[in-house]
Amino acid sequence: MQVFKFGGASIKDAEGVKNLASVLHKVGYNNTLVVVSAMGKTTNALELVIKNYFDKTSELQSSLQDVIKYHNAVLIDLFDNENHPIFQKISLLFKELKGFLNTNKSPDYNFVYDQVIGFGELISTAIISEYLNGIELKNSWIDVREYIKTDNYYRSAHVDWEKTQKLIKSNFKRSVLNITQGFLGSDSNNFTTTLGREGSDYTAAIFAYCLNANRVTIWKDVPGVLNADPRYFENAKLLNKISYREAIELAFYGASVIHPKTLQPLQRKEIPLFVKSFLNPENTGTRIGKEVMLDPMIPCFIVKKNQVLIKLSSLDFSYIVEENISEIFNLLHLYKMKVDVIQNSAISFSVCVDNIYNNLEKLLHHLKAKFKVLCHKNVSLYTIRHYNDKAISQIEADKTVLLKQLTQETVQVVTK
Ligand code: ADP
Ligand code: ASP
Ligand code: MG
């Protein structure tokens, strides 16, 4: 049993879907589960629909229309005959989405978000499954929400491993080619939940774990895991082999090529993860397993742009100790801030955060009641694993360093 994951970039248009089929032909698809994300930037486009819905803007209809048009263009390119049942199927899914928006009474942004955003994956998998069946790549479309059960922490739901494992073990049919949605799950009331942005890699790992798969492959627009994001660094080099632990560190610090939650379930069962190019599927790519720490052993660079550095100090003469630190963390948790780095001294506390859910102003307002607050927006956080002097000076050149932290294997630098 093997699990494949195809992300949005790999299926951004009809060519991408055809290429997915060609990858399956080239590398084989026996006993394979294919986990698929929404096409291209559909998730971002649906996020805009949700925002317009809540802001009650006049752009709601046109933003929804953009998503419909985009998928229609893919359908027309993939299916010659406009009487093909897939056109009806996709139009029904959009009808269902509109029906939800028209009848929804919930004011809960996160709940509504999950109910709407899930259509991206439901639609992409319906299209791909039909297309593959049409070219004799016979497969079963499965609704992932019948397998992955979660709590109702919408937009970042936690997997109920016990229920999920039971459902997959008893209901999943292994011997056929299965196509399913990444990123989605469902709660105990069967409402759609999501596992966090970019969560389809994690879906692949959940299935691999529950099915005791012997490998997972995520197909990317890069040759594998590189020692830096090629969008920001020239001459990024392919990493041939990485240990689970090293990959967990890289993903945790923000190497966005793998979702950070993906690796631990695989490590637990020692299931190797391959990251390969969907353009050159025969190339070896990167293998993540238990054997080698990092091959080649070179500095690895990770950058997170648009972060926020908050420096707190006390309004009176008190020290920043357990009591206030626990209060600070409660607030960070309350406003769903993703904490990147912390640094404290006797009278100050610095924290670099990712303001994913746009709660910064609320957080600052709350903090200002208790602390003196200094905030730098739009800073960059650089992390270098296995650093050396040359790597550090390369990062620091022409930048103002606002915070720096070194451990034996890792240096983190916040710059403006
Ligand atoms: P998906 O289509 O699966 O969602 P993503 O776009 O999320 O794919 O991930 C692939 C992208 O990750 C690459 O195009 C690359 O820009 C970026 N990336 C970030 N860090 C790395 C890295 N260390 N190695 C390779 N790619 C990286
Ligand atoms: N479609 C979702 C996203 O863009 C999940 C994923 O692609 O992994 O975040
Ligand atoms: Mg992605």
219's CB contacts (< 8 A; 6+ apart) are 4, 5, 6, 7, 10, 20, 23, 276, 277, 278, 281
Under 8 Å between Cβ of 178 and 142: yes
3-state secondary structure (DSSP) of residue 132: helix
Q: What is the per-residue pLDDT for 317? A: 83
Ligand nearest to the CA of 225: 1
Q: What is the per-residue pLDDT for 26? A: 97
Go through the domains of the chain in sequence order and give each one's CATH number.
2-213 (3.40.1160.10), 300-415 (3.30.2130.10)
Under 8 Å between Cβ of 329 and 312: no
- pLDDT tens-place values along the chain, 416 residues long: 999 999 999 999 999 999 999 999 999 999 999 999 999 999 999 999 999 999 999 999 999 999 999 999 999 999 988 899 999 999 999 999 999 999 999 999 999 999 999 999 999 999 999 999 999 999 999 999 999 999 999 999 999 999 999 999 999 999 889 999 999 999 999 999 999 999 999 999 999 999 999 999 999 999 999 999 999 999 999 999 999 999 999 999 999 999 989 999 999 999 999 999 999 999 999 999 998 999 999 999 999 999 999 999 999 888 988 989 999 999 999 999 999 999 999 899 999 999 999 999 999 999 999 999 999 999 999 999 999 999 999 999 999 999 999 999 999 999 99
Q: Which two tokens stand for residue 281?
A: 């599927």
Ion ligand 3: protein residues whose beta carbon lies under 5 Å: 7, 198
Ligand nearest to the CA of 197: 2
Q: Is the CB of 183 under 6 A from ligand 2?
A: yes
- How far from chain centre, in Å, is Cα 379? 22
Q: What is the per-residue pLDDT for 175? A: 83
Under 8 Å between Cβ of 247 and 216: no
Distance from residue 60's CA to the centre of ligand 1 (Å)? 30
Q: How far is CA 4 from CA 117, 177, 317, in A?
A: 22, 11, 57
Q: Is the CB of 198 under 6 A from ligand 1?
A: yes
Q: What is the per-residue pLDDT for 323? A: 87
Q: Is the CB of 239 under 6 A from ligand 1?
A: no
Under 8 Å between Cβ of 196 and 155: yes
394's CB contacts (< 8 A; 6+ apart) are none
Strand partners, 343: 350
- pTM of the entire predicted model: 0.93
